[in-house]
Amino acid sequence: MFIKIVVVLLLLIVAVSLLSGRGPAMAARRSSSNLRPLIKRVAVVLLAIGVVLAVLHLSGCSQPRETFHATDITGAEFGHQSALTRLTDHHGRRPASADFSGKVVVVFFGYTQCPDICPTTLVTMKESMRLLGPAADRVQVLFVTVDSERDTPEVLASYVPWFDARFLGLYGDAETTLEAAREFKVFYSKVKGETAMGYSIDHSAASYAYDPQGRLRLLIRHGETPQNIAADMQKLLSGK
C-alpha cells in the first residue's frame, strides 16, 4: 500500500513539474519550442493516471469491513484450538487440529442435564446446519461438557448426536476441563440443590466460531437466530 501511494505521488509531482516548466528535461530544452506541446501532452497523461490511481486507492480504502451478525473477535488472544486437543470426543478419540482443517468450527460449553440453554443452543445449531444445506458438511459443532462427573463419553454419545449426527461431544477430567474453559474465558460453577439431578451448573452461554484456517473469528450470543448463524457460517466458508 505504501509503494502505491509513493508511485501516485511521483506521477503527480512529475506531471505538475512538466506543466509548470520546472522539470529537468524542460529546463534543458526550453529553447526547443517544438517539444513543448508533446511534453504537455505527456504531463497531462501522467496527471490523469495519477488522479485515477489516487481515486481508486481512496475508494478501496473506504470499502466497509465485512460485517457479521455475531460479534467479530478476529485477532483475539484466547480460545486457541490446541486447547481442544487435550479433550476426548464421545468416540473415545482425541481430536487433532488437522481434523478441523478447512472447516468452520463452532465450540460451545455446557452439560447434558442443562434444562434450557444447552438444548436450545444445540437445536439452534441443528437448524443452522439445515439452512446451510450441503455446505453444512464443512461445519463442525463441538459440545464441550463442563460436567465431567456425570457426562461420560457414553452419556455424550447418546446425547449430542441426537441433535445432529455430525456434532461431537468433548470430555475431559475436572482439571483438563477447567484449563479448556479458562482458555476460552468460559465461566461455570456447580450449584447444589434439592433436585432429582442433585445439582445444576451455571455456565457461560456464548458459542465461538473459527474460520476454515483455524482462526477464532466470532462470538455467537445465546439466542441468535439460526438464519443469522447460517449466514455468518456461510461468510466464513466463503473466506470472509
Asked if pLDDT for residue 34 goes beyond 80, the answer is no
Sign of CA dihedral 73, 213, 131, 129: negative
How much is the pTM? 0.72
Asked if pLDDT for residue 33 goes beyond 50, the answer is yes
Over residues 95-109, the mean pLDDT reads 92
Residue 210: which region, alpha, beta or left (left: phi > 0; alpha: psi -120 to 50)? Answer: beta
pLDDT for residue 51: 44
Over residues 118-134, the mean pLDDT reads 97
Over residues 86-99, the mean pLDDT reads 91
* Nearest CA among 193, 216, 186, 214 for reference residue 118: 186
Express each pLDDT in 49-85 by its tens digit.
554 444 444 444 444 556 999 999 999 999 999 999 9
* Nearest CA among 203, 142, 150, 204 for reference residue 169: 142
What is the number of other CB atoms lying within 10 angstroms of the CB of residue 83? 19
CB 147 within 8 A of CB 66: no
* Terminal Cα distance for the chain, rounded: 21
